[in-house]
Amino acid sequence: MEATNRRLLLIINPISGLGSKETFEPLVRKTLEPIGYEVKTVYTCARGDATRLARQAVKEGYYGVLAAGGDGTVNETARALCHTDTILGIIPCGSGNGLARHLGIPIDPASAVRIIAEGHVTESDFGAVNGRPFFCTFGVGFDAAVSSNFARQHRRGPLTYIRSTIAEYIKFHPQVYTVSANGHVLTEKAFLIAVCNASQYGNNAYIAPRASITDGELDITIIHAGNPLDTAMVGMDLFTGYINQNTLIHSFRAPAAVIYRQQTGPAHLDGEPLTIDDTMEIKCHPAGLRIFTPEQEVVFRPLITPIENAARDIACSVTRLFNRK
Buried b (16+ CB within 10 A) or exposed e, 30-54: ebbeeeebebebbbbeeeebbbebb
Residue closer to ligand ATP, measured from CB, 257 or 269: 269
Q: Please report how close the Cβ of residue 273 comes to ligand ATP at its closest, in angstroms.
A: 9
Which member of 3, 6, 13, 177 binds ligand ATP (CB under 6 A)?
13
Residue closer to ligand ATP, measured from CB, 94 or 306: 94
Q: How far apart are the first and last CA of the chain?
A: 32
x/- binding map, residues 195-224, to ligand ATP, per CB under 6 A? -------x----------------------
Distances (CA, A) of 318 to 108, 149, 245, 313: 11, 29, 34, 9
Q: At what angle do helices 109-118 and 24-32 cross, to 10 degrees?
A: 30
Residue closer to ligand ATP, measured from CB, 18 or 307: 18
The number of C-alpha atoms within 13 Å of 143 and in the hemisphere containing its C-beta is 27
Nearest residue relative to ligand ATP (C-beta):
70
Q: Parallel, antiparallel, or unpaired: how do β-strands 64-69 and 87-92 relate?
A: parallel
Which member of 76, 143, 168, 217 binds ligand ATP (CB under 6 A)?
76
x/- binding map, residues 25-64, to ligand ATP, per CB under 6 A? -------------------xxxx-x---------------
What distance in Å separates the CA atoms of residue 179 and residue 139, rounded to the nearest whole number?
A: 13
Question: Which residues does residue 121 pair with via DSSP β-bridges, in sequence order?
Answer: 292
Q: Please report how close the Cβ of residue 106 comes to ligand ATP at its closest, in angstroms.
A: 15
Q: Please report how close the Cβ of residue 180 comes to ligand ATP at its closest, in angstroms.
A: 29
What count of other Cβ atoms lies within 10 Å of the Cβ of residue 148?
18
Q: Please report how close the Cβ of residue 161 comes to ligand ATP at its closest, in angstroms.
A: 7
Residue type, 2: E
Q: Parallel, antiparallel, or unpaired: how do β-strands 37-43 and 6-12 relate?
A: parallel
x/- binding map, residues 85-114, to ligand ATP, per CB under 6 A? ---------xxxx-----------------
Q: Please report how close the Cβ of residue 207 comes to ligand ATP at its closest, in angstroms.
A: 14
Number of residues that bind ligand ATP (CB under 6 A): 24
Residue closer to ligand ATP, measured from CB, 98 or 209: 98
Distances (CA, A) of 243 to 230, 255, 313: 12, 21, 21
Binding site for ligand ATP (CB under 6 A): 13-17, 44-47, 49, 69-73, 76, 94-97, 156, 202, 271-272
